[in-house]
């Protein structure tokens, strides 16, 4: 752990350059220097009482997921007691402490988790400290964007790369699949949480985004699982302690709704509704751009001028609120205009010694209005006849409302993909193997039920590994998937095996 969050000022250990015992430190288990490698860590392994790491995909095979670590450490000598130790005592009751957890396996050390702690719990009776930590998505999920430009015509992976750069991640700290859906017409991230945007992008793409055990951020497009069919481990009763059989939820009726946007020609984007008092000196006028469909992204904004025009931004000022007094437009100038995607700030300077009224303000610019109202419902009649409507959603139609879906074809593909994947109950196992810390989310396993002789090829969709005193255990969540490769323009061949979504 790094209780004081000490940032490493030396380099990372390089064979042939760094010296044993020198200041350079060894980076995470991955090949690249990760976000968390910038901290200096102290080893508290001898104090470990128990630890558990869990990471699971949600109900649907897309979205964002976060890994969690829970650990209990011995505090018999009061090292972790707040204020006790001169080096770390000021930090042992604070949240946000960087932590790593690794396990030795077959002669090598395999990292299982990197993240930040929540506020620790100290137990005076047991002389222990309990820690809960979450991976980098805890940081990503709450990070509000300060990018004030509208992102136009970018793929989901390009948007994610822009976001991660804003949050301080370098290109070596993430791995992003190429997005398979059409570029997004307009996205205004200013003031929004990147975690919410990522979740919606993944829903529209049917993608998965998470932080792996080495702290590398992963974005997997909807074909990632299908393209990964190399068996990495065989499970049967010789290397499992238990196998529990379940089934996946059934969804056979899906409705996809979207209102995509795209940049259009310059037009009026905002008009003042009530007079604004301009005191002597500078006055800030905030502006929120909206239309009938919600917040309106604006990509460019003309600076207002104090004269009449039907094609650009204008304003008028008067001594009276109703405009019946002396015209004061010539005494008022625009000091600055700041555009923040779906909002703006216009600063006016009143050069007189008395307050005047801003009686009109019309703003012209280029905006991104809604280009289509998309509504696609796809259902499987055979599944509905057999199981009823969506038993996995309490009998209700599963509705996905996502404005990052750009066209009818993508909406249809999304609805079809979910129904095709979940219209029938597929195999789902909870496997309790003899622990193998090398197993990762997305690994492809062959599982043999030795009682029935049934062999299934399954993907790892969840993993929990726990270590106590002399005891290492693991639980794997495994699922079957529909092995269908969907047609991609520019990649698939006519007459090939890839299928067209209806």
Q: What is the DSSP string of 135-184?
A: -THHHHHTPBP---SPEEEE-HHHHHHHHHHHTT--GGGEEEPPP-SPPE
| pLDDT of residue 29 exceeding 70 | no
Question: What was the pLDDT predicted at 7?
Answer: 86
Question: What was the pLDDT predicted at 196?
Answer: 97
Question: What was the pLDDT predicted at 469?
Answer: 81
Enter the tokens of residue 475.
């639980």
Question: What was the pLDDT predicted at 34?
Answer: 58
Question: What was the pLDDT predicted at 140?
Answer: 95
Helix (H, G, I), strand (E, B) or coil at 258: strand
CB atoms within 10 A of CB 252: 28
Q: What is the mean pLDDT of residues 32-48?
A: 82
Question: What was the pLDDT predicted at 470?
Answer: 77
Enter the tokens of residue 31.
């090949």
pTM here is 0.87
| pLDDT of residue 280 exceeding 90 | yes
* Nearest partner of 210 among 224, 189, 228, 191, judged by Cα: 224
| pLDDT of residue 449 exceeding 50 | yes
Question: What was the pLDDT predicted at 30?
Answer: 47
pLDDT tens for 138-174 read 999 999 999 999 999 999 999 999 999 999 999 999 9
Question: What was the pLDDT predicted at 147?
Answer: 95
Helix (H, G, I), strand (E, B) or coil at 404: coil
pLDDT tens for 250-264 read 999 999 999 999 999
**Dihedral-angle region of residue 341 (phi above 0 means left; psi in -120 to 50 means alpha; beta otherwise):** left
| pLDDT of residue 43 exceeding 50 | yes
* Greater pLDDT, 245 or 155: 155
Q: What is the mean pLDDT of residues 93-108?
A: 88
**Three-state secondary structure along 291-304?**
ECCEECCEEEECCC
Q: What is the mean pLDDT of residues 219-229?
A: 89
| pLDDT of residue 22 exceeding 50 | no
Q: What is the mean pLDDT of residues 394-419?
A: 93
* Greater pLDDT, 32 or 69: 69
Contacts of 86 (CB under 8 A, 6+ apart): none
pLDDT tens for 309-332 read 999 999 999 999 999 999 999 999
Percent of the chain with pLDDT over 90: 78
pLDDT tens for 288-298 read 999 999 999 99
- Label residue 417 by pLDDT band (50, 70, 90): confident
Helix (H, G, I), strand (E, B) or coil at 36: helix
Question: What was the pLDDT predicted at 19?
Answer: 46
Low-confidence winner among 27-31, 182-186, 424-428, 433-437 (lowest mean pLDDT): 27-31
Q: What is the mean pLDDT of residues 72-87?
A: 96
**Residue 153 and residue 185 in contact, taking contact as beta carbons nearer than 8 Å:** yes
- Label residue 9 by pLDDT band (50, 70, 90): low
Q: What is the mean pLDDT of residues 196-220?
A: 95
**Residue 46 and residue 231 in contact, taking contact as beta carbons nearer than 8 Å:** no
Beta strands (DSSP E) in 202-321 are 208-211, 217-220, 231-235, 240-247, 253-258, 266-271, 276-278, 281-288, 290-291, 294-295, 298-301, 314-318
Question: What was the pLDDT predicted at 444?
Answer: 94
Task: Report the mean per-residue pLDDT for the chain.
Answer: 90
| pLDDT of residue 492 exceeding 60 | no
| pLDDT of residue 500 exceeding 60 | no
Inter-residue long-range contacts of 449-458, CB under 8 Å, 24+ positions, other chains counted: 449/243, 449/245, 450/236, 450/237, 456/427, 456/429, 456/480, 457/229, 457/231, 458/427, 458/429
CB atoms within 10 A of CB 66: 18
- Label residue 481 by pLDDT band (50, 70, 90): confident
| pLDDT of residue 59 exceeding 90 | no
According to DSSP, residue 490 is labeled T
Residues belonging to the chain: 502
Rounded CA Rg of the chain: 28
* Greater pLDDT, 494 or 317: 317
Question: What was the pLDDT predicted at 28?
Answer: 46
Question: What was the pLDDT predicted at 485?
Answer: 52
Q: What is the mean pLDDT of residues 12-23?
A: 46
pLDDT tens for 302-311 read 999 999 899 9
**Dihedral-angle region of residue 262 (phi above 0 means left; psi in -120 to 50 means alpha; beta otherwise):** beta
* Nearest partner of 254 among 94, 453, 93, 398, judged by Cα: 398
């Amino acid at each position: 752990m790094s209780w004081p969050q000490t940032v490493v000022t030396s380099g990372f250990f390089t064979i042939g350059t760094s010296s044993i015992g020198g200041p350079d430190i060894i980076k995470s288990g991955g090949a690249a220097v990760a976000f968390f490698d910038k901290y200096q860590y102290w080893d508290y392994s001898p104090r470990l009482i128990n630890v558990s790491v869990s990471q699971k995909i949600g109900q649907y095979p897309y979205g964002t997921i976060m890994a969690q670590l829970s650990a209990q450490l011995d505090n018999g000598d009061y090292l972790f007691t707040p204020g006790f130790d001169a080096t770390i005592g000021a930090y042992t009751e604070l949240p946000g402490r960087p932590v790593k957890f690794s396990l030795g396996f077959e002669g090598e050390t395999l990292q299982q988790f990197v993240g930040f702690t929540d506020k620790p719990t100290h137990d005076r009776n047991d002389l222990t400290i309990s820690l809960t930590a979450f991976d980098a998505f805890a940081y990503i999920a709450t990070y509000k964007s300060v990018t004030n430009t509208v992102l136009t015509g970018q793929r989901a992976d390009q948007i994610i790369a822009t976001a991660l750069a804003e949050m301080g991640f370098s290109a070596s700290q993430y791995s992003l699949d190429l997005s398979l859906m059409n570029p997004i017409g307009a996205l205004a991230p200013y003031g929004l949480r990147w975690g919410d945007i990522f979740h919606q992008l993944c829903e529209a793409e049917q993608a998965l985004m998470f932080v792996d055990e080495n702290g590398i951020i992963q974005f997997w497009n909807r074909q990632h699982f299908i393209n990964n069919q190399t068996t990495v481990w065989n499970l049967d009763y010789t290397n499992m302690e238990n196998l529990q059989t379940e089934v996946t939820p059934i969804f056979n009726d899906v409705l996809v709704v979207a209102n995509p946007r795209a940049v259009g020609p310059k037009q009026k984007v905002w008009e003042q509704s009530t007079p604004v008092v301009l005191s002597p000196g500078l006055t800030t006028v905030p502006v929120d751009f909206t239309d009938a469909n919600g917040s309106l992204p604006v990509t460019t904004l003309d600076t207002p001028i104090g004269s009449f025009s039907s094609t650009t931004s204008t304003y008028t000022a008067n001594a009276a609120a109703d405009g019946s007094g002396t015209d004061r437009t010539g005494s008022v100038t625009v000091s600055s205009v700041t555009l923040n995607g779906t909002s703006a700030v216009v600063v006016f300077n009143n050069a007189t010694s008395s307050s005047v009224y801003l009686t009109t303000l019309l703003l012209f610019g280029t905006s991104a209005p809604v280009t289509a109202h998309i509504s696609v419902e796809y259902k499987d009649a055979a599944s509905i006849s057999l199981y009823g409507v969506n038993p996995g959603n309490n009998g209700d139609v599963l509705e996905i409302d996502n404005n990052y879906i750009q066209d009818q074809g993508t909406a249809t593909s999304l609805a079809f993909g979910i129904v095709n994947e979940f219209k029938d109950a597929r195999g789902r196992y909870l496997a309790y193997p003899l622990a193998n810390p090398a197993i990762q989310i997305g690994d492809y396993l062959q599982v043999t039920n030795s009682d029935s002789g049934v062999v299934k090829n399954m993907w790892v969709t969840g993993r929990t590994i726990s270590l106590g005193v002399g005891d290492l255990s693991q639980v794997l969540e495994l699922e079957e998937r529909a092995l269908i490769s969907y047609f991609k323009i520019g990649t698939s061949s006519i007459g090939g095996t890839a299928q067209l979504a209806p």
